[in-house]
Structure 1
Amino acid sequence: MKGKTVVVLVNDPGNAGNDTTMFKGKAMTYYGRWMYKYEEAARQGAAGLLIIHDTKPAAYPWSVVQSSYSGAKLRNQTADKGASKCTIEGWITLDAAKKLFSAAGQDYEEAYTAANQKGFKARPLNLQVSTSITNKLRRQESKNVVAVLPGTTRPDEYIIYSAHWDHLGIGAPVAGDSIYNGAADNASGCAALLAIANAFQQAKEKPGRSIVFLAVTGEEQGLLGSMYYANHPLFPVRKTVADLNMDDLPNTGPMRDLTVIGYGQSELDEYARAAAQEQGRYIQPDQNADKGYFFRSDHFSFAHVGVPSLYASGTADSWTKGKAYMKKMSEEFEAQHYHQPSDEYNAQADYRGMEWDARLLYRVGSRLAAETTFPQWKPGSEFKAIRDKSLAQK
């Protein structure tokens, strides 16, 4: 790939729903994430990488790509100041991709079908691209915000509650509004983080293990703040019991379900199930695992270094209005409000579901803080070997 510009599909092979025998079936793997594709293209020496946007496997419309990736892009500082990355990283629309293949004398649909079959080999398009980009680089700092409640009996062991405080700021106007507020994504998680911190502080019985409240920056730019923390931890990774992450909590009232993103990965599923049952709720796996939510919030940064992580909330089954209503609301939010200025605070919304989730996560953290054991990754998890190696260190 050295010196070449690579054109790739979003998500994993077979993930369009046609072949569930490849990789993890309908569940996206890390290899299907755009972040991994950029990383691998750079490792292979590519000059550029263009990802073809397709709404279903991408799990969001083109408007999200526009709002998220237009304008300046932040990156964590590296020793080589980004020199090892591809010179060009970007997305193209599906229509643009079809025109590109047509110009190369190839049929896009045939190439798409072939690329979703085992044994596929990359094909040359025999096209050349010439472009010039003038970049103005600037370096700035953004902050993770950390507070710690020391444990009473095992203060050198840590439970992290995480939520990202950033959103997109001021961007391209939509219907005359250029302020991307991020009320659901993720002022909701920050509100829960503060409420849980307050509850631990006021509790009569203080936690045995230390509780870390971590508000991270740069999530919308690629999990930058949480990834930085995971690679430069204030507290040893091998002494970090778990991460409990909050992102985009419900404003549609109490939920019967507790949907666990990445269900089946770790023993934290059992902690979540017990807390849900105390509220009369049931636990279920992510119903949209093909959309790769496991890799799209800050818990993944902790999983990446081996820390068992729980990312769960009520999303699918309204206590009073049922599943069909929540499916409609979820689709409406994704199509009209996700990463848009219209993600605003709504005084008429029902925030009791957010409260229930915060209470549930407080219960999980309290139980973990009272124990002496560490929750484990389950056999088959790609993160188990990393954790086992970490815990074996002295």
Structure 2
Amino acid sequence: QIVATSRLPNDAGHVMLMDAPLVFVGYGIHAPERDWDDFKGMDLKGKVLVVLVNDADFEDPSLNTFGGRAMTYYGRWTYKYEEAARQGAAGMLIVHEDAPASYGWNTVRNSWTGPQFDIVRADPARERVPMEGWITRDTAVALFQHAGLDFEALKRQARGRDFRPTPLTGASLDAMFDLSTTRIEAHNVVARLEGATHPDETVLFTAHWDHLGVGEPDANGDAIFNGAVDNASGTAGLLEMARVFGAAPRTQRSIVMISFTGEESGLLGSTYYAANPLYPLATTVAGFNMDSANVYGRTTGISIVGWGQSDLDERVAAAAQAQGRTIEADSNPGAGYYFRSDHFPLAKLGVPMAYAENG
């Protein structure tokens, strides 16, 4: 099975790939700081890249090339499409496997067969390829067999630094589908309390106000996805913090509260703010994101999602300890939840961002 779409607007109104060569590029990672390059200088312009989901350490944590089984951004599908654009590829097919993706094929199919959303980008071709797609593992195995290749053998080779891109000789891709673009507006909601002594420095508190909207009705005929936990709870927490900060003496630094739009559609509101900040990111000294707050009652435990990804983690841990709280490990670090919420577009640009959940 295969699903494919495009988030790259074009004037032609369709995507057409004819006899596009297919090349297996392992995990599709270029990470010079880890001495890792799956591309080895191959000219990939106009080609469709076939890539594994996650990174090499998921299959063999003992490699410790990417820090063990906890996913890095290199393992996230968003990175892989971005890297494909940097390589000049015509498209990418990610081989879906449930365990390294941390979700099933139904999630892929449901997410990629309807309308796709994106922000208006200054140069979308720098971050988007004409075709973004997924294939099931069984489809990949059959495709590799058609090219005279062993999928599992190449997958094992892809775990090493000496892996080289492998053309799927005798296999190519024809793809054609219509593409229509509609521009809509949605809004981030922002409030600011100016700091008393360092007003030009900003501390962010964030949540997202959107959920999934209206879908298929349940047995009672209710078709509304209310999002009471994800993320009305975080939005309520943000409003309460605004009330408390507003009634208290001014903090030294300025406090900025942002309720983002479009989180469920791909972190759109936070991505837009990161690209078009109201207050300079260079002087945004810290941020704290709330995505699904505790609705179960009092707890002393705090789970820091993606522990070690943020410079703030140790500070949060120290503050928690001072309050008699305990820090609990990320329950599923291989799933890459740190890269799935609104703090990440800001963290990606160097803003220290913390993402904690109830324990």
TM bucket normalised to smaller: 0.7 to 0.9
1:299 paired to 2:343: yes
- Are the equivalent residues in 2 in contact too, given 1:67–1:172 (CA < 8 A)? no
**Match of 1:243?**
287
Shift of 1:165: 1.8
1:96 paired to 2:144: no
**Match of 2:149?**
106
**Match of 2:82?**
39
Shift of 1:283: 1.5
Shift of 1:3: 1.3
Shift of 1:141: 1.7
Q: TM-score, normalised by structure 2?
A: 0.80
**Match of 2:244?**
199
Pick one of 172, 184, 187 that aligns with 1:140: 184
**Match of 1:183?**
228
Aligned length: 314
Distance 1:104 1:301, change over 3 A: same
Amino acid in the other structure paired with 2:332: N
- Are the equivalent residues in 2 in contact too, given 1:51–1:92 (CA < 8 A)? yes
**Match of 1:359?**
none
**Match of 1:323?**
none
SS for the counterpart of 2:264 is helix
Distance 1:174 1:7, change over 3 A: farther
Alignment of 1:265-280 (within 5 A): 265-280=309-324
Shift of 1:194: 1.2
SS for the counterpart of 1:283 is strand
Provide the C-alpha distance between the structure 1 equivalents of 2:180 and 2:275, rounded to a whole number of angstroms.
28
**Match of 1:67?**
110
Provide the C-alpha distance between the structure 1 equivalents of 2:60 and 2:216, rounded to a whole number of angstroms.
33
- Are the equivalent residues in 2 in contact too, given 1:68–1:220 (CA < 8 A)? no
Distance 1:268 1:142, change over 3 A: same
What are the Cα deviations for residues 216-265 of structure 1, in whole angstroms up to 9, with x where unaligned?
12222332211221221111122212110111223333334212123334
My pick for the range that moved more, 3-12 or 149-158, is 149-158
Amino acid in the other structure paired with 1:46: A
- Are the equivalent residues in 1 in contact too, given 2:306–2:336 (CA < 8 A)? no
Shift of 1:174: 6.8
Provide the C-alpha distance between the structure 2 equivalents of 1:267 and 1:46, rounded to a whole number of angstroms.
34
Higher helix share: 1
Distance 1:218 1:287, change over 3 A: same
Shift of 1:266: 4.6
SS for the counterpart of 2:177 is coil
What are the Cα deviations for residues 123-173 of structure 1, in whole angstroms up to 9, with x where unaligned?
112212212101111112221110112223322221110112223323466
What are the Cα deviations for residues 255-303 of structure 1, in whole angstroms up to 9, with x where unaligned?
3421212333455234322332344321144242222122211111221
Provide the C-alpha distance between the structure 2 equivalents of 1:14 and 1:268, rounded to a whole number of angstroms.
25
SS for the counterpart of 2:140 is helix
- Are the equivalent residues in 1 in contact too, given 2:204–2:258 (CA < 8 A)? yes
**Match of 1:344?**
none
RMSD: 2.3
Shift of 1:178: 4.7
1:128 paired to 2:172: yes
Provide the C-alpha distance between the structure 2 equivalents of 1:130 and 1:263, rounded to a whole number of angstroms.
43
Q: Which runs of 5+ in 2 are unaligned?
A: 1-43
What are the Cα deviations for residues 85-126 of structure 1, in whole angstroms up to 9, with x where unaligned?
311102222233233223333332222222223311121122
Shift of 1:309: 0.9
My pick for the range that moved more, 205-214 or 11-20, is 11-20
1:10 paired to 2:76: no
Distance 1:120 1:171, change over 3 A: farther
Provide the C-alpha distance between the structure 2 equivalents of 1:279 and 1:56, rounded to a whole number of angstroms.
37
Pick one of 64, 69, 81 that aligns with 1:21: 64
Q: TM-score, normalised by structure 1?
A: 0.73
My pick for the range that moved more, 270-279 or 299-308, is 270-279
Amino acid in the other structure paired with 1:218: G
**Match of 2:199?**
155
Amino acid in the other structure paired with 2:264: E
**Match of 2:211?**
167
- Are the equivalent residues in 1 in contact too, given 2:61–2:69 (CA < 8 A)? no
- Are the equivalent residues in 1 in contact too, given 2:51–2:92 (CA < 8 A)? yes
- Are the equivalent residues in 1 in contact too, given 2:57–2:67 (CA < 8 A)? no
Provide the C-alpha distance between the structure 1 equivalents of 2:295 and 2:208, rounded to a whole number of angstroms.
18
My pick for the range that moved more, 191-200 or 253-262, is 253-262
**Match of 1:345?**
none
SS for the counterpart of 1:275 is helix
Distance 1:108 1:174, change over 3 A: farther
- Are the equivalent residues in 2 in contact too, given 1:20–1:26 (CA < 8 A)? no
- Are the equivalent residues in 1 in contact too, given 2:85–2:126 (CA < 8 A)? no
Distance 1:276 1:80, change over 3 A: closer
Over the matched positions of the two proteins, sequence identity in percent amounts to 50
